[in-house]
Amino acid sequence: MKSYLAAAIQMTSLPDLHKNLVQAEELIELAVRRGSELVALPENFSFLGEEEQKLAQVQAIAQESEKFLKTMAQRFQVTILGGGFPVPAGHDKVYNTALLVDPNGQELCRYEKVHLFDVNLPDGNTYQESGTVLAGLQLPPVYPSKDLGNLGLSVCYDVRFPELYRHLSQMGAEVLFVPAAFTAYTGKDHWQVLVQARAIENTCYVIAPAQTGQHYSLRYTHGHAMIVDPWGVVMSDAGDKPGVAIAAIEPSRLEQVRRQMPSLQHRVFV
């Protein structure tokens, strides 16, 4: 693992596949111009609209999203995580799929989100992700990259389930992805503290791209894409507008924190 710059992209995705991919390309290019070698896009980067609209267009969304990720990775010669897009799963359901692609445009690994967001919030909004999404059945993978470190995948609501990240750290993860479309209501109280907690308890870097603003109807997201170091320090925060959070991933910092706070070695219940 070498020292390098990583980027957590922040978008306001809409119910418009083409517009979203144009926005994503602009932000990827911005991240690359600033020196990023690893770029992560948020959950729902290619489409964020009503569930009926998503299902009606799912074949196109899935095909265009995967093609886009591979094209961007090749064009800009970077590793890219597409943090979540729908892939047909049959029976009018989709998998919420995260895809990691290398600079040659080759798929490295993928993860189908296992924890689905079925929640009634006090602000009057109800979310029923399981209505259209089929939960994945496999624990998320850790991809071992010689240059970028061991990369662990997750998606959004997963961040509330620490056992998933403990699995990733046990598998050797050094950098954790938490691509999200966190609601504005929950995000203001929970987003940053949850991302920091996952970094601290696993002594890992966390790259957390995010959605922000109003997407359609009453769907608002919190923003604050961020990159957090293994001590829990927020190194970069994109605020509440579309943009990019960029920070250095330093192997020496990872080693320092794990040496000073060797909690992973002190686990009693494994």
User: Any idea which residues carry the catalytic annotation?
Assistant: 43, 113, 156
Per the document, the length of the chain is 270
Q: Cα–Cα distance between 171 and 215 in angstroms, integer?
A: 36
Residues 187/222, Cβ–Cβ less than 8 Å: yes
Q: Cα–Cα distance between 236 and 229 in angstroms, integer?
A: 10
Q: Cα–Cα distance between 65 and 68 in angstroms, integer?
A: 5
Q: Cα–Cα distance between 51 and 55 in angstroms, integer?
A: 6
CA angle, 43 as apex, 172 and 146 as ends, to 5°?
30
Break the chain down into helix, strand, coil percent, rounded to 5: 35, 35, 35
Q: Cα–Cα distance between 203 and 176 in angstroms, integer?
A: 10
- Tell me which amino acid residue 12 is: T
